[in-house]
Amino acid sequence: MLAPRILKKLEEILGKERIIEDWEGRLTYSYDAQVEEAVPAAVVFPQSDEEIAQIMKLAYEEEFYVVPRGAGTGLSGGSVPLNNAIVMSFEKMNKILEINGEDLYAVAQPGVITLDFQNEVEKKGLFYPPDPASAKASTLGGNIAENAGGLRGFKYGVTRDYVLSLKAISPQGEQLKLGAKTIKSVSGYDLVGLFCGSEGTLGIVYESTLKLLPLPEAWSAMLLVFSTLDEAASAVSQIIAQGIVPSSLELMDNFTIKAVEDYKHLGLPRDAGAIVILEVDGYKESVEREMAKIEALLTKMKPKEVKKAKDQKERDDVWAGRRSALAALARISPTTLLEDVTVPRSRLSQMVHVIEDIAKRYNLRIGTFGHAGDGNLHPTFLTDWRNKDEWERVQMAIEELFTSAVELGGTLSGEHGIGLAKAPFLPREYNEATIEAMKSIKRALDPKGLLNPGKIFID
Ligand SMILES: Cc1cc2nc3c(=O)[nH]c(=O)nc-3n(C[C@H](O)[C@H](O)[C@H](O)COP(=O)(O)OP(=O)(O)OC[C@H]3O[C@@H](n4cnc5c(N)ncnc54)[C@H](O)[C@@H]3O)c2cc1C
């Protein structure tokens, strides 16, 4: 709970109706999609940058913690409010302010749902490529703070590649303008780059200008079934080696296929070793050429089965399984731990073997799916934290997983962030001097450490 004095001042800024104080209400904001850890002291719903600035000035004066929150779909505990923090939710800042077809950008508030944004710009023949599998629920603010990737990362990159400029409030309550609405800007340090992926620890984003592209005129989607995971990983390498750049290139292992089938009954082959789902997009002629190249490779890749989508309905069917992979796995056990290791694409096959080996040696259930084209895999541990023995094995297995990813030239997290869950492992990837450089940026921007405490680093 907050001190009555602070609560009164927050009420003066927002009015009682935009503050949650009761226990049940606060409980709803105590977890994200993976980490359940701490109940906030209060939840506040600002509607303008002035209100955010006033709240941060109050926080600075009274020294209480603030945790920004989008939709809470994060998978590393980023929006979990430690240290009796208040949660600042952007549910009421969810407007698209401008869609500019001439300069190819849109301006939006942080609480806009990603899919709504994609749909609105598409109505004007424009395209916003970042496409996290959580697009139906996640917000643009959360995507920026996590530098979210997604299903179209292989061809189109990640959220950072589409952020032209940001408006933010500093931890001291000051206005910050980062970047410019132009395609190019090298005026000073790249603070947009710094804020993307900063997990709400450096400032509060209240407006973003996002780059748009013309909507691709055509697409073609295909699902390939393989007998083994190895064959599937090798198919991914062969496609990339041909110089083909699919917009999406995704992988699901046998465990995940069965989980999806039990959940959605899509008719996926339960005996398949793995499935690769791919899509190419662009001009009609180039889509046809790229698909023809992929089809020419089929004799070498030797899939057991090939399904090519003929219309939008079949395209949706091809993607339905992949989009429901996490939900399908999460039904299996009380605790789901989804990891996010990423390796250079050429090491994908090795990483897949490491995961299989870890599952065997630690006797654990792991379903693996992910953005194969990005070398980004989501080995998902299905467990129960109350089973002490298994929980210990899971912890050891995760540690080994991270070590192996880094040894293969990879990274702990391709897109979900370090947050709370992976903070203890950051020293596996970076040396002390590098972590100290990051901490000194945090200290410079947030000297009292009030914004999203306990994330990214273990102090
Ligand atoms: C089923 C499922 C599928 C997913 N698929 C993908 C995927 O394909 N790719 C991917 O990258 N991620 C994926 N995720 C993870 C998650 O959806 C993303 O990290 C997403 O960007 C989080 O957005 P959110 O609005 O839910 O943010 P939250 O979880 O609420 O917050 C995430 C972080 O952003 C900070 N934050 C939020 N708003 C602001 C703001 N306005 N200013 C500053 N900081 C802010 C928070 O403090 C926190 O640190 C998936 C999650 C689920 C549950």
Question: What is d(CA 208, CA 141) in angstroms, rounded to the nearest whole number?
Answer: 8
For the domain bounded by 96-214, which CATH number is listed? Answer: 3.30.465.10
Taking the domains of the chain in order of start, what are their residue ranges? 4-89, 96-214, 218-323, 328-407
Counting ligand 1 atoms within 8 A of each CB, the residue from 51, 131, 134, 380 with the most, and so the one to mutate, is 134
* 427 φ, ψ (degrees, to nearest 5): -65, -15
**CA neighbor of 251 nearest in space, from 158, 141, 380, 412:** 380
Q: Whose CA is nearest to atom 16 of ligand 1?
A: 74
Counting ligand 1 atoms within 8 A of each CB, the residue from 51, 79, 88 with the most, and so the one to mutate, is 79
The CB of 146 under 6 Å from ligand 1? The reply is yes
Note the pLDDT of residue 423. Answer: 96
Residue 416 Cα: closest atom of ligand 1:
19
Note the pLDDT of residue 164. Answer: 98
The CATH number corresponding to 218-323 among 3.30.70.3450, 3.20.20.60, 3.30.565.10, 3.40.30.10 equals: 3.30.70.3450
For the segment 198-205, the average pLDDT, to the nearest whole number, is 98
The CB of 248 under 6 Å from ligand 1? The reply is no
**CA neighbor of 338 nearest in space, from 381, 298, 392, 307:** 381
Q: Domain 328-407 belongs to what topology? A: Alpha-Beta Plaits (3.30.70)
Q: 43 pLDDT band (50/70/90 cuts)?
A: very high
Tell me if domain 218-323 and domain 328-407 are identical in fold.
Answer: yes
Q: 459 pLDDT band (50/70/90 cuts)?
A: confident
Q: 181 pLDDT band (50/70/90 cuts)?
A: very high
Sheet holding 19-20, edge to edge: 19-20, 42-44, 86-89, 66-69
Would you say residue 277 has pLDDT above 90? yes
Give me ligand 1 centre to Cα 70, in Å.
Answer: 7
The CB of 110 under 6 Å from ligand 1? The reply is yes
Residue 119, number of CB atoms within 10 A of its CB: 12
Note the pLDDT of residue 37. Answer: 84
CATH class held by domain 4-89: alpha beta
Q: What is the pTM of this model?
A: 0.96
The CB of 79 under 6 Å from ligand 1? The reply is yes
